[in-house]
Amino acid sequence: MPRRGVFTLGQHYPCLGASKRRAAHIYSDNLDKECPLVTPEPFSHGLRIDSSHPCIQPWATDNNGPVATTSTDSPGPSRGDSSADPSGGSRGHAAVDRRSPPGGAASFIDRERLLADIDELLRIPSLGGTPAEVDAQRHLADRWAGEGLEVTTWDIDVDATAARSDFPGMEVERESALGVVARFPGSGGGRTLLFDGHTDVVPPGDIGAWTGDPFIPRTVQRDGRDAIVARGACDMKAGLVAAWEALRAVRQSGVRLRGDVLLCPVSGEEDGGLGTYAALEHLLGTPIAGCIVPEPTDLDLVPANAGALTFRLTVNGAAIHASRRSEGVSAVEKFVPVLAALSHLEAVRNASVDELMQRWPVAYPLSIGTVHAGDWASTVPDLLVAEGRLGVALDESADNARAELEAAVADVCRSDPWLREHPVTVEWWGGQFHAGRTDPNAGIVSLVRDTHTRAAGHAPETYGGPYGSDLRLLVGMGGIPTVQYGPGDTRVAHAPDEYVNIEDVVMCASVLADVIVDFCS
Ligand SMILES: [Zn+2]
């Protein structure tokens, strides 16, 4: 365990091996080296942080332990003999969630077990492209096999998969990836329900903005409620474990399902969708009647996603000593009208948007994320490379969105003598998320809506997400009616001190348990 005062990132991760050291190293590469909080030299195996630095709050005694599993709810009576527990649940007895209908599968949700398993998964620093990404997948496969589910794993041939013409893209280097599908078979004749959730997480960013190690989950108060803070808590390990707990509750309740339930954790969602793409290939021929993706929706219903296309612009200039500036051509200055044209294009593309998207100030953002230019302060820069993402409207093809951006850039180039001769190039690389949608009144969406309304006492909102996600693969490539429904707010996803409210996680698990019973019986 970390020593008080100084800890080493990754040290909390049990049996730290070579793969984890590499994960910790990649993690350190994303830190703000300016922050004196972080000493640049690796300490033993990873990164050393001085927790006495004012950027870090004093450690509470429970900061390095599992997230709190206590609750103001008193535990309910044990539901049956735990030795006959089909989920292998010796980790705790069933606790009744009082907001759920008595006697339903939801009453078997075991809060303690749920939180312990979220804690365990959050401690694996499964950054996209690191070996820990595979570890997270293997961890779930092992746990589920141990609980008696039919688990299939396979090594995804990353290079061969990425070479396919319809491959959705990948933005990090990846040597390996593990496919996992766990099946709880029904007795036959029922509908199969799939839960798809990603286990990869994005880097923590500036470590100085966190109040502790992003991979040591801890419980804090947010808006007067207990919340778990850790990278991936909101997006979306808590939601994935909630689906797992929902299935355990159903098994424990003894309800007999006719349809199968499939749990499919995936890698590579954050940078394109490798995992779900590979899983859909693997599941080809399996009739799947509905899918729930427990991404953070704040327990609202998101049956549609905009798309997102990553692009790169290259602007050429002509270098010269800055003292003779007017005789050269600055790539930065040539980028200015391009940027203005892209802003105009964004406004045009958002002038009228689908009803499901009207809650967003900008439904389909066109955003420049990186700009690199020049290599010397007193040289006129001869090269500028800008990367960004273009939102794709619901029902719009990715090809159409690409063509609109390329046309806007070409228009600018035609109006400038230099750019006419040296046109800006546009490349499409990395994640290419198409838009996708399921009818907001499709069976699976209505069922989750009705079940949530019963459990929570109010109806969830229904809208489209402005982000790209695996939903478009499940709907498009898989032809599966899919809805996102999960705990956590996307406002804090990918942010420092990302968190998820514990009661929302428990509510999600309860609703999903009842949904499983209704859908698969
Ligand atoms: Zn996510």
120 and 244 within one domain? yes
Asked whether residue 92 is assigned to any structural domain, the reply reads: no
Structure-model confidence comparison of residues 40 and 400, the more confident one: 400
Whether pLDDT at 85 is above 60: no
48 and 124 within one domain? no
| CA separation for the pair 355, 365 (Å, rounded) | 17
Predicted confidence (pLDDT) per residue in 189-204, tens digit: 999 999 999 999 999 9
| CA separation for the pair 98, 455 (Å, rounded) | 9
Tell me the CA–centroid distance for residue 295 and ligand 1, in Å: 5
Q: Among 398, 433, 468, where does a domain finish?
A: 433
Asked whether residue 17 is assigned to any structural domain, the reply reads: yes
User: What's the CATH code of the domain at 258?
Assistant: 3.40.630.10
Asked whether residue 74 is assigned to any structural domain, the reply reads: no
Whole-number average pLDDT of the chain: 84
Q: Among 68, 97, 114, where does a domain finish?
A: 68
Tell me the CA–centroid distance for residue 77 and ligand 1, in Å: 35
Predicted confidence (pLDDT) per residue in 323-349, tens digit: 999 999 999 999 999 999 999 999 999
Asked whether residue 80 is assigned to any structural domain, the reply reads: no
Tell me the CA–centroid distance for residue 267 and ligand 1, in Å: 11
507 and 399 within one domain? no
80-94, 346-360, 382-396, 408-422: which has the minimum mean pLDDT? Answer: 80-94
455 and 314 within one domain? no
Q: Which residues contact 407 (CB under 8 A, 6 or more apart)?
A: none
Asked whether residue 280 is assigned to any structural domain, the reply reads: yes
Task: Provide the angle, in degrees to the nearest 10, between the axes of the packed helices 131-146 and 111-122.
Answer: 150
Identify the pLDDT of residue 410: 98
Tell me the CA–centroid distance for residue 440 and ligand 1, in Å: 20
Tell me the CA–centroid distance for residue 232 and ligand 1, in Å: 8
| Helices and strands, counts by H and E, the chain | 12, 19
Structural domain harbouring 63: 1-68
Note if 200 is an active site residue: yes
Asked whether residue 73 is assigned to any structural domain, the reply reads: no
Task: Provide the angle, in degrees to the nearest 10, between the axes of the packed helices 238-253 and 111-122.
Answer: 140
Q: Among 47, 68, 89, where does a domain finish?
A: 68
515 and 392 within one domain? no
Q: Which helix (H) or strand (E) holds 264?
A: strand 261-266
End-to-end CA distance of the chain: 46
| CA separation for the pair 219, 256 (Å, rounded) | 36
Do the beta carbons of residue 165 and residue 200 sit within 8 Å? no
Predicted confidence (pLDDT) per residue in 233-283, tens digit: 999 999 999 999 999 999 999 999 999 999 999 999 999 999 999 999 999
248 and 116 within one domain? yes
134 and 273 within one domain? yes
232 and 286 within one domain? yes
Q: Which residues contact 128 (CB under 8 A, 6 or more apart)?
A: 171, 172, 174, 200, 201, 202, 267, 268, 270, 271
Whether pLDDT at 286 is above 70: yes
| CA separation for the pair 273, 294 (Å, rounded) | 15
Tell me the CA–centroid distance for residue 469 and ligand 1, in Å: 7
| CA separation for the pair 395, 222 (Å, rounded) | 37
Tell me the CA–centroid distance for residue 498 and ligand 1, in Å: 12
130 and 275 within one domain? yes
Asked whether residue 88 is assigned to any structural domain, the reply reads: no
The confidence band for 11, taking pLDDT boundaries of 50, 70 and 90, is very low
Note if 34 is an active site residue: no
The confidence band for 468, taking pLDDT boundaries of 50, 70 and 90, is confident
191 and 117 within one domain? yes
Tell me the CA–centroid distance for residue 411 and ligand 1, in Å: 36
| CA separation for the pair 221, 334 (Å, rounded) | 49
Q: Is 221 exposed, middle or buried (0-12, 13-18, 19+ CB in 10 A)?
A: exposed
Exactly one of 260, 269, 300, 489 is catalytic; name it: 269
Strands (E), 283-359: 290-293, 301-305, 307-316
Whether pLDDT at 143 is above 60: yes
Asked whether residue 85 is assigned to any structural domain, the reply reads: no
Exactly one of 119, 133, 147, 200 is catalytic; name it: 200
Tell me the CA–centroid distance for residue 481 and ligand 1, in Å: 18
Tell me the CA–centroid distance for residue 92 and ligand 1, in Å: 29
360 and 509 within one domain? no
Tell me the CA–centroid distance for residue 324 and ligand 1, in Å: 50
Backbone angles phi, psi at 158, to 5 degrees: -60, -45
51-55, 399-403, 443-447, 506-510: which has the minimum mean pLDDT? Answer: 51-55
Do the beta carbons of residue 266 and residue 293 sit within 8 Å? no
- Three-class SS of 129-193: CCHHHHHHHHHHHHHHHHCCCEEEEEEECHHHHHCCCCCCCCCCCCCCEEEEEEEECCCCCCCCE
Q: What is the pTM of this model?
A: 0.79
115 and 23 within one domain? no
Tell me the CA–centroid distance for residue 198 and ligand 1, in Å: 7
Number of domains in the chain: 3
| CA separation for the pair 396, 375 (Å, rounded) | 39
Q: What is the mean pLDDT of residues 117-139?
A: 98
